């Protein structure tokens, strides 16, 4: 069986995705676990011109940096390709599976440090257009 790996994008135009990687877990409070969509996780800040970042989740602050990946990652999507002309008694394996490259990842923002507990409500050090209330996360 052969599954083609397809790519609709050209070399220089493959959509770039990003990765934020944390050691440890981010958990939502139990009441929110089934409806995570659109919920804020936290705030990613770049305090200076260095590639250093902080990630504030709830009352914890993580420190990390943006690093290029040694080898690029491809984002692949599994698809079932249905052939409308197939007859009923043809091989079921012929509604073939396809893999499509839908993105490429060349950099990640990696947080390796122990989270620093913020003992008071995090004050935005950077002016934002909109004040965001703390998210519904404990840790």
3-state class of 55 per DSSP?
A: strand
CA atoms within 13 A on the CB side of 116: 12
Our finding on whether 72 is near other proteins (CB under 8 A) is yes
Our finding on whether 103 is near other proteins (CB under 8 A) is yes
d(CA 113, CA 116): 9
β-bridge mates for residue 100, sequence order: 6, 77
Our finding on whether 87 is near other proteins (CB under 8 A) is no
Nearest approach in angstroms of CB 127 to other proteins is 9
Our finding on whether 134 is near other proteins (CB under 8 A) is no
d(CA 16, CA 107): 9
Residues lying near other proteins in the complex (CB under 8 A):
1-7, 9-11, 14-26, 36-50, 53, 55, 66, 71-79, 99, 101-103, 105, 107, 109, 124, 126, 128-130, 132
């Amino acid at each position: 069986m052969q599954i083609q790996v397809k790519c609709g994008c050209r070399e220089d135009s493959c959509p770039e995705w990003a990765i934020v990687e944390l050691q440890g877990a981010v958990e939502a409070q139990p009441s929110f676990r089934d409806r995570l969509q659109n919920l804020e996780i936290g705030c990613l800040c770049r305090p200076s011109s260095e590639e250093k970042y902080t990630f504030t989740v709830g009352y914890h602050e993580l420190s990390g940096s943006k690093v290029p990946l040694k080898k690029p990652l491809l984002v692949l999507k599994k698809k079932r390709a249905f052939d409308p002309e197939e007859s009923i008694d043809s091989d079921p394996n012929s509604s073939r599976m396809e893999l499509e490259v839908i993105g490429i990842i060349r950099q990640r923002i990696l947080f390796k440090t122990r989270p620093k507990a913020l003992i008071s409500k995090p004050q935005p050090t950077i002016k934002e257009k909109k004040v965001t209330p703390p998210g519904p996360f404990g840790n």
